[in-house]
Amino acid sequence: MKTSTLREYAKLIAVKGVNVQKGQEVWITAQLDQPKFVEMLVKECYAAGAKRVSVDWQHDPLTVLHSKYMTQSAMNELPNWQVEKMKYQAEILPARIYLDSEDPDGLKYAKQDKIAQEKIAKYPIRKPYIDSMDNKYQWCIAAVAGKEWAKKVFPNERVSSAVEKLWEAILYTSRADSTPIQNWERHNKDLHSKCDRLNSLGLKYLEYKSSNGTDLRVELLENAQFLAGSEKTLQGVEFNPNIPSEEVFTTPKAGAAEGVVYSTKPLSYQGALIENFHIEFKNGKVAKVYAEKNQQLLQQMISMDEGAKMLGECALVPQNSPINNSGILFYNTLFDENASCHLALGRGFSNCIKDYGKYTQKDFDEMGVNNSMIHVDFMLGCDDLDIVGITKSGKRIQIFRNGNWAF
C-alpha cells in the first residue's frame, strides 16, 4: 500500500478516531508485527498535539506461552505495577487507540480455560477503574493488515499480495481510500440522521425474524437512545470509537429478551472461531447454546459472569453496506459486526442513556444497562431478516425489511 495513503489513514485515526487534544496523552495497543504503521500513527498523534504517546505491544505467541507455562495463581495475580498503571490511566485519561492486526487463529493453542479464569480473577480489581473512566476518554479501534490475518482472509494468495488485498479491503470499508476526513464527516451526518429518526419513534421492543429460525423479541430501555458514528465524551470531545463503523446501536434492557437467534457469521472469540451457532433466551437470559464448532468455548463465554448471559447491545446494519458488499469474510469482529445486524452478550453502553452524565454506575445497573466483564458481538443479519419495532402503545413499525432499512 502506498505510504501516502497509509499516512492519511493514520491521520484519520489520530484526528477523527480519537481526536487527540492538545497536551493529552495517547496510549496505543498494537501487535508486534506492525512497527511501521505504529510509527506513522505516533507521528500523527504528536502532530495533533499529544503530550506523550505510549505503546503497549502485544504478541499472540507470547500469550500462548504464558497460558501454557504460568501457573493459574500466577496468572490470576495483578502485580502492583500494573495496578499503578491503571490508576495512572484512570487519573490522566489518555486517548486510547487499539490497532487490530492479529491472526484470527493466533490463540488457537492457548489454554483458553486458564485465560478465562485469569480474566474472572482480575476483573474485580480492574472494575473500579473501568467504571470510573467510562465515557471520560476518547478511544478508537481500527485495523492494520497483518500477515497471518491476510492469509486467513485470502488463503490462495502469496503473503505479499494477500497483505496488499487486505489493506485495500480495510481502507475501502473504512472509507479511507481517498479523502478520509471528508468522507467521515459526511458519513457521520448520515448515521446521525438515522439515529434521530429511530429515536423519534419511542420504541419499546424490537422483534427479529428470519427464515433460518431466528425469532427473538428484545425489550429496549425507556431512556436509552440509538447512537451511531461519532460520540462525545462527558467533557464534550467528539471521537469515532470504531473505524469502520456502519452500525446504529442501542443498549437494550438487561434480562428482557425472549426467543432464539441464529448466528450468520463465525464468531471470533479469544483467538478461536465459534461457528454455526444459535442461542436461546428464556426469561431474558441465555438458557441454551449450540455450536457446530467450539461449543465449549461459547459455553465458557456465557459463563464468565451473570451479565454474560444477557444482552448489552442491539445494532442495526444494512446488508447493503461497503463491508457486506465487499463479499469478504474478515474473521474479525470490527469488520464482520459492521457488515451485519448484530447483538452483543455482556456489558451494555451507559452512554446510550439520555443525560448519562447525571447517573452513577449503580443507577445504570438499576436501570437495566447490562454489566459484565465481557462484551461480545455476534451477527444475525441476513438477506431476509425483518425487524419490527413496537412502540409503547403497541404500534408496529417496520424497521428492517429483507436485511435493509425499511425507511
The contact set with Zn ion (CB under 5 A) reads: 247, 315, 337
The CA distance from 239 to 261, in Å, is: 32
Contact 278, 271 (CB under 8 A): no
Alpha helices in 50-134 (DSSP H): 60-69, 72-76, 80-92, 112-133
CB of 264 to Zn ion, least distance (A): 15
Q: Which of 102, 337 has the CB closer to Zn ion?
A: 337
Cβ count within 10 A of residue 254? 27
Q: Would you say 219 or 337 has its CB closer to Zn ion?
A: 337
Least Å distance, CB 343 to Zn ion, is 9
Q: Minimum CB separation from Zn ion for residue 381, in Å?
A: 11
Q: Largest alpha-carbon pair distance within the chain?
A: 58
State the minimum distance, in angstroms, from the CB of residue 377 to Zn ion. 5
Nearer to Zn ion, 25 or 337 (CB): 337
> How many other CB atoms sit within 10 Å of the CB of residue 143?
26
Distance of alpha carbon 138 from alpha carbon 84, whole angstroms: 21
The burial of 74, by beta-carbon neighbours within 10 Å (0-12 exposed, 13-18 middle, 19 or more buried), is given as exposed
Q: How far is the CB of 242 from Zn ion (least distance, A)?
A: 8
Residue recorded with cell 497536551: 23
Q: Rounded CA gap, 270 and 296, in Å? A: 13
Minimum Å distance from CB 161 to Zn ion?
31
What letter represents residue 19's amino acid?
A: N
Q: Which is nearer to Zn ion, 170 or 315 (CB)?
A: 315
Residue closer to Zn ion (CB basis): 8 or 377 = 377
Please name every residue paired with 54 in a beta bridge, in sequence order, or none if there are none. 27
Minimum CB separation from Zn ion for residue 338, in Å?
Answer: 8
Q: Is 256 in contact with 206 (CB distance < 8 Å)?
A: no
Nearer to Zn ion (CB atom), residue 286 or residue 315: 315
Cβ distance to Zn ion smaller for residue 25 or 247: 247
Assess whether the previous peptide bond of 244 is cis (omega < 30° from 0).
yes
Measured from the CB atom, the residue of 112 and 372 that comes closer to Zn ion is 372
* Contact indicator for 263, 276 with CB cutoff of 8 Å: yes
CB burial string 4-27: b at 16+ within 10 A, e below = ebbebbbbbbbbbbbbbbeebbbb
- In this structure, the dihedral spanned by the alpha carbons of residues 70, 72, 78 and 79, taken in order and rounded to 10 degrees, is -40
